[in-house]
Chains A and B, each alone.
Chain A
Amino acid sequence: MRKSFVARNPSVLIFLALLGVFTLAVTVLGEGLGVGLISTSFVKTLGKTLCLCLVAIAMDLVWGYTGILSLGHFAFFGLGGYMIGMWLMYARTELIVAESLAQAEIPPTPDEIRDAIGTQIFGVVGGSDFPAVWTFAHSLPIQLALVVLVPGLLALVFGWLAFRSRVTGVYLSILTQAMTLALALYLFQNDSGLRGNNGLSGLQNLPGAADVPQSMVSIWFFWASAAALAIGYVVAAFVVSGKFGSVIRGIRDDEARVRFLGYSVEGYKLFVFTLTAVIAGIAGALYYPQAGIINPAEIAPIASIYLAVWVAIGGRGRLYGAVIGAAFVSLLSTWFTGGQVPDLPLGIYTVKWVDWWLVLLGFSFVLVTLFAPKGIGGLFDLLTGRHGPDRHGAALGPDQGSLREKEAEQ
């Protein structure tokens, strides 16, 4: 008899329970509703970390399960952020402009209001007209839909083009990286319509909630991020648990064989690629209001590679691994680069961690890749006593890229 979804995936329940406890703890300890042990800025950091965990899950789906090393998922993340950022910025500027124009003796015409908003927003790039991409910026529902649609459509078109022509492996990685670079370079231009390298700013202020303190807003966003992460985790677990999951793992291990078995490999890949792009877009839409600012540097190829680093360190091919990796590395990174780590005096030279953190990260990443391909998540195998099958050193799958047994044991 077929066991229920939860019974087959006990980790989902454990994860949801832990996430619930964590959310409750932060709420109680935070400034907005609780005793104020955790500062508002740290609540924001935790909320942002949850969003990064969500995009890491997306990365794990597409890389750990389907074997597509996409170096472009942070582009989708950033696009989601830009979409919600446009509404936040427009709506808030509209309120400010309406207030200031109401002081004038003559009531403003609709055109004047729009021009004033345009001057406010685009003054920094020397313009005042609204570019076409801002057509729907006044409408929250449409921009929310665009959070999903824009990354989704971009992924759909890009994925269709790439998978159709059978671009695989490292070529696909380089191609996705090129896409990210192209998008970032495009957004860096002043006439891209999204304020060039100034990006969108002031996103932490919710329009119409000016009298709600930031400590409260941060808790709202924290809850929203936690809920999104929970839903994202369950969706991802559902996707990888059934037959569909078996097929995409099959594609990861030997694409040609799955194709010969009659599955539409391109369709599966395209679905996973687009789904994860949508998840990344949603994560970005929750992340950037907490960060307060988004600019094209966030989309630079390096960000997407860090995403892969998190998933690899956390342990790919398992969802909780992605979450652990993203949370662990990004929080550690915040800690190190925030200058809170004491310097390490070595007699002739003092190691300043702000400078040396990236060196440490880079080399530890190499070590993880070499000696612990399962990442931090692999520690759980020790707990549960799970071992790989003994195949006398043969490859675990038929593909060159699949793990050999001796590697799997490392």
Chain B
Amino acid sequence: MRILLAALSFLVLFTLPAAAQDSPIQKLLQQHRDLIEQSSRRTIAPAIDALRDSGLPAAQVVLEKWQGKELWQRKADGLFFFAERIDAQTYRLVDIATGNETATAAKDEIEQLKPNSGIRGMIGAALVQFQLTDPDPARRADALNAISRDAEPAHLAALRASIGAETDPDLRARKERLERLLTISYDEDPAARIAAIQSFAGDLGVDARAALNPLVATTRAVVSGNPPAAENLARVLEPGSEALPKDEAYALLVAADLAPPRINRDDIRAALAANIQNGRVGSVPVAQLDTDAARERAYAELAEAGIVPATATEAQVAEALASHTFYERYAETDPEITAAAAAALDDIALKVGLNQAADLTLDALSLASIYFLAAIGLAVTFGVMGVINMAHGEFIMMGAYTGYVVQQLVPDYTLSILIALPLAFAITFGAGVAMERLVIRWLYNRPLETLLATFGISIALQQLAKNIFGTQARPLTSPDWLDGALVINDVVSISYIRIAIFVLALIFLGLFLFIMRKTRLGLEVRAVTQNPRMAASMGINPERINMLAFGLGSGIAGVAGVAIGLYAKVTSELGQDYIVQSFMTVVVGGVGNIWGTLLGATLIGFLQKGIEWLNPSNTLAAQTYMILFIILFIQFRPRGIIALRGRAAGD
């Protein structure tokens, strides 16, 4: 039995490998066996290239397995196999050409190839070519991603070869675009490069700019006399101009060894300090070295004595600057290509500018709708009823916290938002009615005191929220279908939440108009605000109307709070952040007119985004200037954009 087994294993070992040995892929590997065994990043390239360019069907698998450390070598004859582990000591050997199981081997008979990460990267680059023609579209897309992340000259040919066979239209478009990008960077033929560059004129893609920008990158250089003709000259720089301050120009000269260095003040000071002798530096007493002139004199003496290197004088600096030419040169040597790239980039810049303007408009619109949403409740309480409610911001906050609490109880985000919106309305409606009944109705004749009393409520509510929910921000998570953004192109995009807020603002505008103009309640509210006594004579109960109107305004604030909480963090200071802006919105727009509030919100939103665009690093400055603008605006239109006239204007 044992003899039989031994005979069998002998057969397996020596008959089948004969076939494996003959396969072309095995021959190829054996040709490069030394390199592969050496496994050094510096020398391995020919082996990988040979595999890649062999055109053998098994080459891809071999490369992949090699990369995955699944390629083994039998010590006895140096043949390569794929190996699968059977148990700790035994491995199954698989033929690299056919994929058939050939033999088993003990672990100490074979050796694993362990390519380091550098080699694995090179194998990965080689594999891209195979992946580009892989039958699986997902893998082809992966390959394209890999190329666009980290392109190499070798990819260009592979990519071009794979375009013809591409069946998926999306992938084909991507491949063609990538091919043009690689042409810009790696093609040998200038005409093809220029054609590719020109094809990207006006393209918004970041990848296009990334491919074009290196072409127009410049470095500064300096020569005595005229710039060499061989250079691809970008422009000549004038020392002392904005593009090249004199100090930098001189530093260039020093770096190019064309002029002696100029010792700066700190070094002069250090040199003087190092050369004090008997309370003097040279002939100058130390006590007199408190002016720059005295220090320079002392340093000049030291320099004459040869103790320190001489510094260039002003006159020398001026002469050196005048006698040399400073210029910027392109790293790319072909002027036609840099010209084409510059033209294409100009085109892109214009297009990007236009799209940025569109994006800014969208941003401003969404900011305006947030302000409008925050202010629309005030348009009822302050605009229509004339009640200053400083706790309005805290109603917004209450709405946001309602949303947060509902989300804690109802885990489904969509459902919880649907519950939170009416619930927030109900809660803040109740709070508003309670506040009107308990406080505000006693103060209708004393507006300044309404302001102060509601402010007292505001600080109390804010502190209450802090005591209940803590000072840290609470998240209000939006449902999945509101996540993400509507991307129009690489420049213009807007998140779905902002669109939702915009839609919500429109809905509220419609709701407000409907209630005020088409319902009994709106009619009565308008009657009571214009003339409470006359309204009362007509059978309207002014107290009830005031209560309902105030509740309505507060309820809207609560709903706005849920919406604002979705895109901002919920804190107890949430309302405070909006209260001044909300009042501004109503006042700028014109009290008592919803269209005015809309215009006010639009004006403030666009203004703030506009100022932010002028000074993007500084949103604080944007707010400052916006408020200053509003203060000035009220000088010229004290009653807002849309001023009420006639009786409705009251006093």
Contacts and interface: CB of A to CB of B under 8 A. Distances in A.
Interface of A: 63, 67, 69, 104-111, 158, 161-162, 164-167, 169-171, 173-175, 177-179, 181-182, 185-186, 188-189, 191, 301-302, 305, 308-309, 312, 355-356, 358-359, 361-366, 369-370, 373, 400-401, 403-404, 407
Given A182-B623, A363-B457, A373-B449, 6 more contacts: A109-B292, A169-B447, A171-B638, A182-B631, A359-B460, A366-B439
B627 A174 contact: no
A107 B634 contact: no
Contact of A369 (B276, B453, B462, B627): B453
B285 to A, nearest CB: 10
Contacts of B290: 107-110
A178 B621 CA distance: 14
A166 B638 contact: yes
B387 to A, nearest CB: 10
A359 B461 CA distance: 7
A109 B290 CA distance: 4
A400 B624 contact: no
A107 B447 CA distance: 65
Interface stretch (B311-319, B418-426, B463-471, B488-496): B463-471
A174 B631 contact: no
B456 A165 contact: no
B445 A182 contact: no
B273 A105 contact: yes
B523 interface: no
A257 to B, nearest CB: 13
24 contacts: A69-B448, A106-B272, A106-B289, A108-B290, A109-B292, A161-B631, A161-B635, A166-B638, A167-B638, A170-B451, A178-B630, A185-B623, A305-B455, A308-B452, A309-B455, A359-B463, A359-B464, A361-B456, A362-B458, A365-B453, A366-B457, A369-B443, A369-B456, A370-B442
Nearest to B625: A182
Nearest to A410: B442
Nearest to B459: A362
Interface in B412-455: 439, 442-443, 445-449, 451-453, 455
A167 B584 CA distance: 14
B607 to A, nearest CB: 13
A358 B463 contact: yes
Contacts of B463: 355-356, 358-359, 362
B467 A182 contact: no
Top 7 A-B residue pairs of the complex, sorted by shortest distance between their CB atoms: A362-B460, A365-B456, A358-B463, A182-B627, A107-B290, A369-B453, A362-B459
Contact of B467 (A174, A355, A400): A355
B286 interface: yes
B191 interface: no
A188 to B, nearest CB: 5
B283 interface: no
B453 A186 contact: no
B455 A189 contact: no
B227 to A, nearest CB: 37
A365 B446 CA distance: 15
Nearest to B576: A302
A116 B636 CA distance: 47
B635 A309 contact: no
Chain A's interface: helix, strand, loop or mixed, by majority? helix
Contact of A401 (B269, B388, B446, B623): B446
Given A107-B290, A109-B292, A373-B449, A366 B456 contact: yes
A164 B638 CA distance: 10
* Most interface-central of B272, B295, B627, B635 (chain A CB within 10 A): B627
Interface in B566-595: 576, 580, 583-584, 587
A239 to B, nearest CB: 21
A178 B464 CA distance: 26
Nearest to B446: A401
Given A178-B580, A366-B456, A373-B449, A185 B627 contact: yes
Interface in B586-634: 587, 618, 620-621, 623-624, 627-628, 630-632, 634
A160 to B, nearest CB: 10
A305 B634 CA distance: 22
Contact of B456 (A164, A363, A373, A404): A363
A178 B460 contact: no
B287 interface: yes
Contacts of A161: 631-632, 635
A312 B453 CA distance: 10
Contacts of B624: 182, 185-186, 189
B631 A178 contact: yes
A166 B459 CA distance: 30
B286 A107 contact: yes
Contacts of B627: 178-179, 181-182, 185
B448 A174 contact: no
B215 to A, nearest CB: 35
Contact of A186 (B269, B462, B620): B620
A29 to B, nearest CB: 34
Nearest to A105: B273
A336 B291 CA distance: 57
Contacts of B287: 107
A308 B443 CA distance: 17
A69 B446 CA distance: 12
Interface string B203-236: 0000000000000000000000000000000000
A322 B489 CA distance: 61
A165 B286 contact: no
B620 A185 contact: yes
Contacts of B451: 69, 170, 173
Contacts of A171: 587, 634, 638
A182 B628 contact: yes
Contacts of B447: 169-170, 401
Contacts of A105: 273, 276, 286
B620 A365 contact: no
B302 to A, nearest CB: 13
Contacts of B295: 106, 109
B450 to A, nearest CB: 8
B451 to A, nearest CB: 6
B448 A370 contact: no
Given A358-B463, A366-B457, A174 B583 contact: yes
Given A358-B459, A358-B460, A401-B447, A370 B291 contact: no
Contact of B292 (A111, A177, A302, A358): A111
Contacts of A169: 447-448
Contacts of B635: 161-162, 164-165
Contacts of A369: 443, 449, 452-453, 456
A148 B452 CA distance: 29
Contact of A173 (B448, B464, B621, B636): B448
B584 A178 contact: yes
A309 B580 contact: no
A64 B388 CA distance: 19
B161 to A, nearest CB: 54
A401 B388 CA distance: 14
A403 B445 CA distance: 8
A333 to B, nearest CB: 12
Contacts of A106: 269, 272-273, 286, 289, 295
Contacts of A188: 620
B452 A309 contact: yes
Contacts of B462: 358
Contacts of B443: 369-370
Given A161-B635, A182-B628, A174 B460 contact: no
